[in-house]
Amino acid sequence: HVVPLCVRRAGRAAETPVDRLEALQQGDVVVAAALRHGERRRTPKLLRRRRKVWKQGTFRLLPTLGLLWRRADPIVRVSAAALLLLFLAAVLVYHYSMGLDWLDAVYFTVTIMTTVGFGDISLRDTPSPVKIFGIVTMLAGALLLVMVLSAVAGYIVSRGLEQAMGLPRTALKEHFVVVGLGNIGHRVVTRLHEYGVDVLAIESGTDIRFSNILPREIPLLYGDGTDPRVLQSAGVERARALVAVTDSDMANLRAAHEAREMNPTIRTVVRVFSERLAEQLGAQTLGIDVALNPSISAGATFAACALADGVLAGISMGERLLVIRKAFAQLASDQTIEAHRLRESQGMLVLFRVTPDSSGVEVVREADLIRDGDELIVMEEYRAGVRGAPGCYWSEPSKPEMVGASQVAV
């Protein structure tokens, strides 16, 4: 079930098309397409929701408060500090100006700042400056309290509080860890989950845009993906692979390096924005197996879409552009043709055939027969001067194909 695409002969730097009947030599590197039958996309079973994801954690007050303070936005920190200073100042003013003991002064300050006074203590007989200070305390206290409480409520909604109460450790094994829940990260997490594998996401910020759209059965850990403690909580030492797709090249490289230090057998995939850095990161460099530049990967697909119809993906192999696209066979009703003849006559390699119920794809072998109306996925090399002509055996889909962002942003 493997379809060879290109081959790099031993001792050579360039790839060349390979015929499926061509003999291979020791040291040849083959680029191939294949279906991984054990990891096809499928709807996760309900039983997966019952698996044990987190180990029991312990709650510690001071670390929890410290974590909440570090995660808060600067404006929330300023509001909390101003609220505390206003509270202390009000306690002192009411203690000395109204003759209240310390407990009553604290009680009266709380009732004023929360605007729930019971009337047992009032400012009716106090001097005017104290009344003015009371008005300021009511207005400023209510405003600052709303800002702080809204931030705390947002943090609870984003499921960060459960992580703050002890930073639990996952009980998953042979799972995938994705660091960064941005525009690409949440798609990687969702796609892995759709393929039926265990996946855990790590998000460093409090932005809930992407965490809220994740399925509830996907565990989410809030923390710094480069922190060894967070990686340990994510079970990196037992994980199958780590994918780092944050917006920082250094954070992605460090996360992969830390993961490799904890688990020498883990597979690491990182997203890098620097084209030169992506080219220089070879196999096992800094503990990295694969370094991908989204711009380079997407650029080939955008170029292929501009040059041909029905394109699903474009692959850049040096100066050559390989186009993977969808096409329909257009033959006489009683005519068939073997798949390998299309490669010989038109330079098209038939990779897969869409099943009749459109639920999946099946591998097409060289001896398989192609019939009229078959929906196929083919690969061909773009040739300058040939305006994406599909050849006499092909017709394009009646409706234009739209390539989704998840297929383009790697």
Model confidence pLDDT, tens digit, residues 128-154: 888 898 888 888 888 888 888 877 776
* Overall average pLDDT of the 16-33 stretch: 74
* Overall average pLDDT of the 155-160 stretch: 57
**pLDDT tier for residue 119 given thresholds of 50, 70 and 90:** confident
Residues 6+ apart with CB under 8 A from 336: 369, 370, 371
Tokens of 270: 């990182």
Taking the whole predicted model, whether its pTM rises above 0.95 is answered as no
Say which residue the tokens 């206003």 belong to. 86
Tokens of 268: 């690491």
**pLDDT tier for residue 255 given thresholds of 50, 70 and 90:** very high
Would you state the pLDDT for residue 278?
59
Would you state the pLDDT for residue 330?
82
Would you state the pLDDT for residue 179?
95
Q: Answer whether residue 36 shows pLDDT above 70.
A: no
Q: Answer whether residue 210 shows pLDDT above 60.
A: yes
Would you state the pLDDT for residue 7?
80
Topology of domain 169-292, per CATH? Answer: Rossmann fold (3.40.50)
CB 233: neighbour CB atoms within 10 A?
22
Q: 3-state class of 220 per DSSP?
A: strand
Please provide the average confidence, as pLDDT, over all residues in the chain.
77
Q: 3-state class of 278 per DSSP?
A: helix
How far, in Å, CA of 23 to CA of 16, rounded? 14
Give 350-399 pLDDT, tens digit per residue: 888 887 666 678 888 888 888 888 888 888 888 765 544 333 334 444 33
Topology of domain 61-157, per CATH? Answer: Helix Hairpins (1.10.287)
**pLDDT tier for residue 48 given thresholds of 50, 70 and 90:** very low
How far, in Å, CA of 229 to CA of 301, rounded? 39
CA nearest neighbour of 336 among 383, 368, 299? 368
Does the 296-408 domain belong in CATH 2.60.60?
A: no
Q: Answer whether residue 315 shows pLDDT above 80.
A: yes
Q: Answer whether residue 317 shows pLDDT above 70.
A: yes
**pLDDT tier for residue 49 given thresholds of 50, 70 and 90:** very low
* Overall average pLDDT of the 203-220 stretch: 78
Strand intervals (E) in 14-163: 16-17, 29-34
C-alpha distances out from residue 86 to 80, 136, 147, Å:
10, 10, 15
Which one-letter DSSP state was computed for residue 56? P
- The residue ranking higher by pLDDT, 124 or 15, is 124
CA nearest neighbour of 272 among 404, 178, 410, 177? 410
Residue ranges of the domains in the chain? Answer: 61-157, 169-292, 296-408
Nearest-5° angle of CA 373, CA 379, CA 385? 100
